Structure 1
Amino acid sequence: MASKLGLLFGILKTATLMSFQIVFVIGEPQVPCYFIFGDSLVDSGNNNGLVTAAKANYTPYGVDFPQGVTGRFTNGLTMADIIGQLLGFSNFIPSYAMTNNGEINSGVNYGSGGAGIRDETGRNLGDRISMNKQLLRHATIVSRLSNLQRNKTFTNEYIQKCIYIIYMGSNDYINNYLMPNNYSTSTKYTPDQYATVLIQQYSQQLKSLYELGARKIAVFGLGFIGCTPYEISTFGTNGEPCVESINNATMLFNKRLKPLIDDLNNAFFDARFTFINISSISASQGAVLTNVSCCQTRSDGQCVPNSVPCSNRTMYTYYDGFHPTEIANRLLASRSYAALSPMDASPYDISHLAQL
Structure 2
Amino acid sequence: MTRELSLFYRFFIFVTLIQVISTVVAGEPQVPCYFIFGDSLVDSGNNNGLTTAAKANYWPYGIDFPQGVRGRFTNGRTVADIIGQLLGFPKFIPPYATATDQEINTGVNYGSGSAGIREESGSHLGNRISMDRQLVNHQTTISRLLALQNNKTFTDEYLKKCIYLVNIGSNDYINNYLIPIIYTTSSTYTVEQYAAVLVQEYSQQLKTVYNLGARKIALFGLGQIGCTPAEIKRFGTDGKPCVEWINDAVKLFNDELKSLVDELNSDYLDARFTFINLTSISAPQGDVPLPNVPCCQLMEDGQCVPNSSPCLVRDLTVFYDGFHPSEISNTLIATRSYISVSPTDTYPYDISHLARL
Q: TM-score category by the smaller chain?
A: over 0.9
Q: Secondary structure at the match of 1:37?
A: strand
When the two structures are superposed, what TM-score results if normalisation uses the length of structure 1? 0.97
Structure 2 contact 296–309 (Cα < 8 Å) conserved = yes
Match of 1:121 in 2: 121
Distance in 2 between the 1:257 and 1:129 partners? 22
Q: Secondary structure at the match of 2:310?
A: coil
Structure 2 contact 31–355 (Cα < 8 Å) conserved = yes
Structure 2 contact 93–109 (Cα < 8 Å) conserved = yes
Match of 2:327 in 1: 326
Q: Secondary structure at the match of 1:264?
A: helix
Distance in 1 between the 2:285 and 2:334 partners? 13
Q: Secondary structure at the match of 1:165?
A: strand
Match of 2:66 in 1: 66
Match of 1:339 in 2: 340
Q: Secondary structure at the match of 1:109?
A: coil
- Point out where structure 2 has 5 or more consecutive residues left out of the alignment: none
Distance in 1 between the 2:90 and 2:291 partners? 31
Structure 1 contact 15–331 (Cα < 8 Å) conserved = yes
Are residues 198 and 66 of structure 1, via their aligned partners in 2, closer, same or farther at CA, if it must alter by over 3 Å? same
Higher relative contact order structure (alpha carbons within 8 Å, sequence separation ≥ 6): 1
1:146 aligns with 2:146: yes
Distance in 2 between the 1:249 and 1:45 partners? 30
Distance in 1 between the 2:274 and 2:117 partners? 18
1:13 aligns with 2:35: no
Give 1:288 deviation, angstroms.
8.0
Give 1:290 deviation, angstroms.
2.3
For residues 101-120 of structure 1, the aligned pairs below 5 Å read 101-120=101-120
Match of 2:349 in 1: 348
Match of 2:213 in 1: 213
Match of 1:39 in 2: 39
Q: Secondary structure at the match of 1:96?
A: coil
Match of 1:240 in 2: 240
Distance in 1 between the 2:295 and 2:325 partners? 10
Match of 2:318 in 1: 317
For 2:10, the aligned partner's letter is I
Distance in 2 between the 1:289 and 1:8 partners? 7
Distance in 2 between the 1:309 and 1:298 partners? 13
Q: Secondary structure at the match of 1:343?
A: coil
Match of 1:294 in 2: 295
Match of 2:80 in 1: 80
Give 1:124 deviation, angstroms.
1.0
The CA deviation string for residues 43-91 of structure 1, in whole angstroms up to 9 with x for no partner, is: 0000000000000000000000001000000000000000000000000
Match of 2:262 in 1: 262
Structure 1 contact 288–315 (Cα < 8 Å) conserved = no
- Point out where structure 1 has 5 or more consecutive residues left out of the alignment: none
For 1:295, the aligned partner's letter is C
Distance in 1 between the 2:76 and 2:128 partners? 22
The CA deviation string for residues 290-329 of structure 1, in whole angstroms up to 9 with x for no partner, is: 2100000000000000000000101100000000000000
Distance in 2 between the 1:171 and 1:164 partners? 20
For 2:125, the aligned partner's letter is L
Are residues 285 and 164 of structure 1, via their aligned partners in 2, closer, same or farther at CA, if it must alter by over 3 Å? farther
For 2:9, the aligned partner's letter is G
Distance in 2 between the 1:180 and 1:13 partners? 41
Match of 1:173 in 2: 173
Match of 1:249 in 2: 249
Distance in 1 between the 2:280 and 2:234 partners? 25
Give 1:7 deviation, angstroms.
5.5
Q: Secondary structure at the match of 2:210?
A: helix
Give 1:285 deviation, angstroms.
4.8
Give 1:289 deviation, angstroms.
5.7
Q: Secondary structure at the match of 1:124?
A: helix
Match of 1:22 in 2: 21
1:137 aligns with 2:150: no
The CA deviation string for residues 221-242 of structure 1, in whole angstroms up to 9 with x for no partner, is: 0010000000000000011110
Give 1:14 deviation, angstroms.
1.2
What is the number of equivalent residue pairs in this alignment?
352
Give 1:21 deviation, angstroms.
2.9
Give 1:11 deviation, angstroms.
2.1
The CA deviation string for residues 10-61 of structure 1, in whole angstroms up to 9 with x for no partner, is: 1222112211332244211000000000000000000000000000000000
Structure 2 contact 223–279 (Cα < 8 Å) conserved = yes
Distance in 2 between the 1:7 and 1:352 partners? 30
Match of 1:304 in 2: 305
For residues 176-187 of structure 1, the aligned pairs below 5 Å read 176-187=176-187
The CA deviation string for residues 77-113 of structure 1, in whole angstroms up to 9 with x for no partner, is: 0000000000000000000001000000000000000
Distance in 2 between the 1:257 and 1:183 partners? 23
Are residues 55 and 285 of structure 1, via their aligned partners in 2, closer, same or farther at CA, if it must alter by over 3 Å? farther
Q: Secondary structure at the match of 2:123?
A: coil
For 2:120, the aligned partner's letter is E
